[in-house]
Amino acid sequence: MHLIIYGSEGSGKGTQAKLLSGKYRLGIITSGDLVRNEALTDANHLGKVCQDALESGKYVPDEEMFNLWSKKLNSREAKKGFILDGFPRNVHQAEFLLSKVKESGYSIDRVIYLKIGDEEAIKRLSLRKRQLFAGSSVVHDTPERIKSRLSVYREKEKDLLDFFRRKKKLTEINGEQEIEKIFQDIVTGLRDF
Show the domains of the chain with their CATH numbers. Answer: 2-30+80-185 (3.40.50.300)
pLDDT at 192 over 70: no
| Peptide bond before residue 88 is cis, with ω within 30 degrees of 0 | yes
Q: What is the dihedral of CA 58, 155, 121, 98, to 10 degrees?
A: -80
- Is 41 annotated as ligand-binding? no
* Bigger pLDDT: 2 vs 140: 2
Exposed / middle / buried, residue 112 (Cβ in 10 Å: 0-12, 13-18, 19+): buried
Mean pLDDT score of the chain: 90
- Is 153 annotated as ligand-binding? no
- Is 79 annotated as ligand-binding? no
- Is 11 annotated as ligand-binding? yes
pLDDT of residue 166: 97
* DSSP per-residue letters across 121-165: HHHHHHHH--BSSTT--SBS--HHHHHHHHHHHHHHHHHHHHHHH
pLDDT in tens, 20-70: 999 999 999 998 888 998 999 888 899 999 999 888 878 889 899 999 898
- Is 117 annotated as ligand-binding? no
> Nearest CA to 170 among 111, 115, 116?
111
CB 89 within 8 A of CB 153: yes
- Is 158 annotated as ligand-binding? no
* Bigger pLDDT: 137 vs 12: 12
pLDDT in tens, 101-157: 999 999 999 999 999 999 898 888 887 766 666 667 766 677 888 888 889 889 999
pLDDT at 18 over 90: yes
- Is 31 annotated as ligand-binding? yes
- Is 12 annotated as ligand-binding? yes
pTM (2 d.p.): 0.82
